[in-house]
Amino acid sequence: MKVDNSQVVREVDPRSFRDLISLLVLVAVLVVGLVLYAWPHLQVRQTGMATEKMNREKERLIEQNRKLRLEKASLENLRRIEKIATKELGMSPPEPERTLVVEKPEAPPDGARVARGDDASRSPRKEER
């Protein structure tokens, strides 16, 4: 005997739909809770990594600064400059009678007024007739 089920209509169980919605809400609450728990920890970790990176960059820049200061000091060495001037450029020191020593004037004390003796500092005036 053959059974024909094509005419059978299946009833929807309202409890199964409620159970499905309840399960989805529970999963959503768990996921949101997990994200809210993990987010600050992730941010702290990323901040720590960025701090380490900045510290390494700072150390590299300090070392580079030290090397550049040493290079500057060696380039400013007067003996080195004199050697280059005499050997590579063919220069020679001037004769003593052509040497002029210029002394830096002392700075006036605080609050002192300085009078200028040169006429170049004054503005030219037209003479009136």
pLDDT confidence bin for 35, thresholds 50/70/90:
very high
pLDDT of residue 119: 52
Question: Buried (b) or exposed (e) across 40-53, using 16+ Cβ within 10 A?
Answer: eeeeeeeeeeeeee
Question: Buried (b) or exposed (e) across 102-123, using 16+ Cβ within 10 A?
Answer: eeeeeeeeeeeeeeeeeeeeee
pLDDT of residue 128: 46
pLDDT of residue 27: 97
Question: Model confidence over 87-129: pLDDT tens digits?
Answer: 999 998 888 888 888 888 888 888 888 777 655 445 454 444 4
- Phi-psi category of residue 11: left, alpha or beta, with phi > 0 → left and psi -120 to 50 → alpha: beta
Rounded-to-10 torsion of CA 85, 90, 91, 96: 130
Question: Model confidence over 54-80: pLDDT tens digits?
Answer: 999 999 999 999 999 999 999 999 899
pLDDT of residue 118: 59
Give the predicted TM-score (pTM) of the model: 0.46
